[in-house]
Structure formats: C-alpha cells, structure tokens
Structure 1
Amino acid sequence: MNYSCISGRVTKDIELRKTKDGKSSIRFTVAVNRRIKDAGADFIPCAAFGKTADLICRFAQRKGSRVCLEGHWQSGNYVDKAGKTVYTLELIVDRYEAIDFGEVATKEGIAEEPQEPIQSSMDESMNEYGTGFPF
C-alpha cells in the first residue's frame, strides 16, 4: 500500500501554476519535525493538482502555514544538463486539511473560521484517467 500522512509547515510561499487548459498544479516542500525532540526536521517534496492545489493555495499558500497532507509517493527520474540521471521522490497530495486556520484567516482577511475543516479529497481533483495529474 502506497499511502502517507504528514503534518508540518510549508517552507516557502507556494506559486499556483495553470496548464494551457486551466488546470491547477503546485509543487512545494513541507518541513516535518522528527519524533525525537531536537532531532531536526525532514523536508518533504510535495505536489498537488486540480481542486486540491487550489485549496492549498487559498488556505496554506504562505511560508510557515501548518498543513496535514495525505497522499501517495511517486518516483521519477530525468537527465540533467550535465547528462547525469537524477532520481526524484515526492508526495502526491490526495487530501489536504488546514491546521491553525485562524492564523491563515487573519493573514488573508477572512472574518471567521468555517464550521467544517477545510479539506479536499482525491475524488475532487481526479482527471479522466483516474489520476490527480493535469495530463
């Protein structure tokens, strides 16, 4: 089973990108503290697509925003300019939930917290091929 749930803070402001046909995508990194106090943090590369990407950008776009993400790992590779193969691994976000919405609401000028947690699910961002990818 390829499934992970992480909770951490966004490391820098997230930039929303749109494909030519208007589908959203983002790539960002989340700092996740290790279980042992003062053991540091791991920096998890993440990607989200469709409505999930839109929601993350709306409520957790800023550096330091706390997020809870559920998703699956995807590996890949590419050849860099020097001709060397680079291997990648990132968490593809299937579900997002805001943490500390009050902090974000204050920054964004939103008057009050929603009654339900802000979340998205994989079903909302699926394309015709059954993936969250914009292609």
Structure 2
Amino acid sequence: MINRVVLVGRLTRDPELRYTPSGVAVATFTLAVNRTYKNAQGEREADFINIVVWRQLAELCANYLKKGRQAAVDGRLQTRSYENNEGRKVYVTEVVAENVQFLDSAQSGSYSGPTSAGQGMDPMNPRTNQGSHSYQDPFADESQPIDISDDDLPF
C-alpha cells in the first residue's frame, strides 16, 4: 500500500504551534494549492489543504513559515473523526507532513528569521538543522564572484 502526498502551495495563515500534555510540539497550517486548470470564468481555483507537522519540524515551521510563504510538503494523508458539541460525528482529512521545504528565498522580504552565519538554523533546509550548524547564504552578495577552486568540484 502507498500513502504519499506531495504538495506545493502558499500558507493561508501563520502556523499554529501547540504542545501535547507530554510536551511534543505540533503545528498546524493550511496550504493553498492551485489547480492545474481554470474555471469557466478563466480564473484559477485553489484547494485549501490542512497540514499537521510534529516535533522539531513543527517548531521550525512555526518559527520560519508565515502567511503567504511558499512551501513544499511531503507526507501522508490521514483521516480521523471526533464527536462535536452537537453529538454529530465529524470527519477530518489532513496531510501529516514528514518533510517541509521552505521555497521562498530569504531576500523575498517575507522572511524574518536569521540571515547570516551564527544567528541560527538554515530556514531553507530544516531537516539539516541538527546540532550547531550555522547558516551562511553563499549568494547573499550576488554581485561578487564565488571563489571555487578546482579541488572543490566533484568532477
């Protein structure tokens, strides 16, 4: 059996970070994903997909993703149900994210996290933010050539 979802879209609101009673971080947000076709009026419609992120990745999403930011989500589809205040059973379908890639560049203006070495984690690759890695954008000053020696090239 395969249960795999890959989405690219924009956040409709800032992620909401909560903690379980045992202290596990969980963040939720909604991703607006454009459909590939236009409707009868020539407008592109979007689907609004609920996303759930757990543990360290949830904290990273809450710290670095904001409304309007573009993100790629890789995860699995999950359906759950609960009984609401009126006694009716409510079904919820959501994507449980296993990986989230932040697609906007730090220079886009919508990012408010660390942007230079020593100030924190690499927001563009949250899965590699383990330990004390610092983030230094090699393209921060695009007008200057990048110093790469032949020894650095893999071929």
How many angstroms apart in 1 are the aligned matches of 2:107 and 2:8? 16
Higher relative contact order (CA 8 A, sep 6+): 1
Change (3 A) 1:17 1:105: farther
Residues 1:88 and 2:95 aligned together: no
1:33 is aligned with what amino acid?
N
Change (3 A) 1:25 1:104: farther
Q: TM-score, normalised by structure 1?
A: 0.77
Q: What residue ranges of structure 1 are gaps of 5+ in the alignment? A: 125-135
Partner SS for 1:46? strand
How many angstroms apart in 2 are the aligned matches of 1:78 and 1:115? 37
Identity of aligned residues (%): 28
Q: Over aligned residues, Cα RMSD in angstroms?
A: 2.6
Q: TM-score, normalised by structure 2?
A: 0.68
How many angstroms apart in 2 are the aligned matches of 1:22 and 1:105? 33
Q: Number of residue pairs matched?
A: 121
Question: Is the 2:106–2:115 contact (alpha carbons within 8 Å) kept by the matching residues of 1?
Answer: no
1:29 is aligned with what amino acid?
T
Q: What's the counterpart of residue 105 of structure 2?
A: 101
Partner SS for 1:52? helix
Larger radius of gyration: 2
How many angstroms apart in 1 are the aligned matches of 2:10 and 2:17? 17
Question: Is the 2:6–2:74 contact (alpha carbons within 8 Å) kept by the matching residues of 1?
Answer: yes
